[in-house]
Amino acid sequence: MSFIRPEAQQTIMRFREILIGVALDLLGLVLIVTGRGLAVWIGVAVCIGASALILAGIQRARFRKGAGGAGVVNVVEGAVSYFGPLTGGAVSLREMNRLSFDPRQTPPHWVLEQAGHDPLFIPMNAEGADALFDAFEGLKGLKTQHMLRVMNDPPAAPVTIWQRDSSTVRRLT
């Protein structure tokens, strides 16, 4: 039996890094204000680490769009797998050529393309889709803020977020 409503649990899980960072920041501030000598410097280090955690948490919270959608996403050792009710497949991040965002579908989908394979369409709200944030962060040259902007203010047409040859990536203005 849970004492927390499911909606509140979802909100807590969405903002978990931010909440932990704020708690650590408060601990660091207590050490700075009440401590002496080495405790003050430990408090400063804790505050710096907590602030970094809060900034990362803000990006992750913007990326998480809920769960309970169709299918399951699994990210293991540089491979993204999607097992859906109608489609599925796997893409190697090392061999991936393009990452796109397709807002025309409901819910919007990530489109992962690898040469020699059919594109892999992953709904934004598929179970485990929040693991894609870390997977996408490993793509050299990916602009995280661009990706988050496209997700939170979707255009009318599909947008290329990243591709191996970054000189031809379409950008929103």
**Pair 155, 79 in one domain:** yes
pLDDT at 1: 59
H-helix or E-strand spanning residue 90:
strand 88-92
For residue 44, tell me if it sits in a domain: yes
Q: Yes or no: say if 125 and 82 are a contact pair by the CB < 8 Å rule.
A: no
**Pair 28, 101 in one domain:** no
pLDDT at 173: 35
**Pair 54, 78 in one domain:** no
pLDDT at 67: 67
Q: For residue 162, what pLDDT band results from cuts at 50, 70 and 90?
A: very high
**Pair 81, 163 in one domain:** yes
**Pair 87, 118 in one domain:** yes
CA dist 11 to 14, 58, 137, 165, Å?
Answer: 5, 13, 23, 37
Give the other-Cβ count within 10 Å of 142's Cβ. Answer: 16
Q: What would the mean pLDDT of 47-63 be, rounded to a whole number?
A: 89
pLDDT at 53: 94
pLDDT at 42: 95
Of 124 and 43, more confident: 43
Exposure string over 34-72, b if 16+ CB within 10 A, otherwise e: eeeeeeeeebeebbeebeebbeebeebbbbbbebebbbb
pLDDT at 151: 84
Q: Rounded to two decimals, what is the model's pTM?
A: 0.69
Q: What would the mean pLDDT of 85-90 be, rounded to a whole number?
A: 87
For residue 173, tell me if it sits in a domain: no
7-41 per-position pLDDT tens digit: 787 778 888 899 999 999 999 999 999 999 999 99
Of the candidates 126, 117, 121, 122, the one whose C-alpha atom is nearest the C-alpha of residue 96 is: 117
67 contacts: CB under 8 Å, gap ≥ 6:
10, 125, 126, 127, 128, 129, 130
- Residue that terminates a domain, selected from 63, 90, 105: 63
Q: What would the mean pLDDT of 80-85 be, rounded to a whole number?
A: 90
